[in-house]
Structure 1
């Protein structure tokens, strides 16, 4: 049987050493995992830190101990759900953002558990790059909200300063921006070429 006789287009391209598509999909899949972990940690860690009022050295590492308010916030809920609800109540995220988080978490689970099929099964749709970007932008929005509402007001040097809110980001979010630019460089270049050609 020749490669061209195979019924699966994705497999044919792989066997013919056309690795561009599979390489891109592997990079996108990896970014889904990274963006998910970043969003999850951002949502939970920011709230936990907000309610932390005591620090202890445990095994040589400084660890924050949240106060009673944090335990009250959890009140039988899972940590992630309780922290999402806190963000919603505080206005850091909107109901639409909350729905986006649900969609992103569900889809990220599919990517993690069905990656083999996504890579090789012609019936499986391409990875949802738009959803990846939306989740990444949401993480940046949450990060910016915490900086503008809590970090800037507590910094005397910044209180009366004019701040371009769109440019506010933590080092972690800037690193993730760069990681996405590097991982998806070929996609961004293609989009720029198409924009220049139109």
Structure 2
């Protein structure tokens, strides 16, 4: 069989195409969640109020974050590095993940049909690990110290599931066809309506 025939076989077989497309789109989605959480968490940390467009940030955000790079993402990564939330190896990992995300975003059809090779399946765990690492750092270093409910409490870092990771797990759960969360949500919604 020629390469062209193999590619058509992959493309036309739903049992091959569906999981390949699912994994590729989940990688892109997870990378976007990572980028958003990197920028949004720091912007939120420096917010000083709200207006009609949402949270407002003061001059500290400009001087302590945005001044580090013209890209808010790279400025935020530098801020995270300077605050020991991530290390140099994490920055290298981020760049590899970004390259893979760009390949998938620009050549999705070629990747899922096998015309172009991608490392996204092998890199997915590293992507989730980086998302979790940054999320846990925020919980340990920002949220817990500023919440008096945790004063004197023993914190199990391994048991922390950041909101971004929880959202991702729910997304994967639902996107893979599981309806348990939908059924639970509907049941709770009906309870709320009957109690109103």
Return the TM-score normalized by structure 2. Answer: 0.80
Q: Give the corresponding residue for 2:50.
A: 56
User: For the residues of structure 1 that align with 2:56 and 2:87, how far apart are their CA atoms?
Assistant: 29
Q: Check conservation: 1:36, 1:108, Cα contact below 8 A.
A: yes
Q: Give the corresponding residue for 2:33.
A: 38
- CA positional deviation for 1:92: 0.5
Q: Check conservation: 1:92, 1:145, Cα contact below 8 A.
A: yes
For 1:154, what is the secondary structure of its paired residue?
Answer: coil
User: For the residues of structure 2 that align with 1:32 and 1:169, how far apart are their CA atoms?
Assistant: 19
User: For the residues of structure 1 that align with 2:88 and 2:3, how far apart are their CA atoms?
Assistant: 47
Return the TM-score normalized by structure 1. Answer: 0.79
- CA positional deviation for 1:37: 1.1
Q: Check conservation: 2:24, 2:120, Cα contact below 8 A.
A: no
- Structure 1 pair 153–22 and aligned structure 2 pair: CA distance change class (3 A): same
Matches within 5 A, 1:112-123: 112-122=105-115
For 1:84, what is the secondary structure of its paired residue?
Answer: helix
Unaligned runs of 5+ in 2: 178-196
- CA positional deviation for 1:43: 0.6
Identify the range of structure 1 (18-27 vs 79-88) with the bigger mean alpha-carbon deviation. Answer: 18-27
1:98 aligns with 2:95: no
Q: Give the corresponding residue for 1:143.
A: 135
Unaligned runs of 5+ in 1: 186-198
Q: Check conservation: 1:33, 1:108, Cα contact below 8 A.
A: yes
1:28 aligns with 2:19: no
Matches within 5 A, 1:46-195: 46-53=41-48, 55-58=49-52, 63-72=54-63, 73-75=65-67, 77-122=70-115, 124-125=116-117, 127-181=119-173, 183=175
- Structure 1 pair 20–126 and aligned structure 2 pair: CA distance change class (3 A): farther
User: For the residues of structure 2 that align with 1:163 and 1:96, how far apart are their CA atoms?
Assistant: 26
- Structure 1 pair 35–82 and aligned structure 2 pair: CA distance change class (3 A): same
- Structure 1 pair 78–7 and aligned structure 2 pair: CA distance change class (3 A): closer
The CA deviation string for residues 60-113 of structure 1, in whole angstroms up to 9 with x for no partner, is x6x221111211131252111100000000010111111111111111011011
Q: CA RMSD in A?
A: 2.2
- CA positional deviation for 1:183: 4.9
For 1:157, what is the secondary structure of its paired residue?
Answer: helix
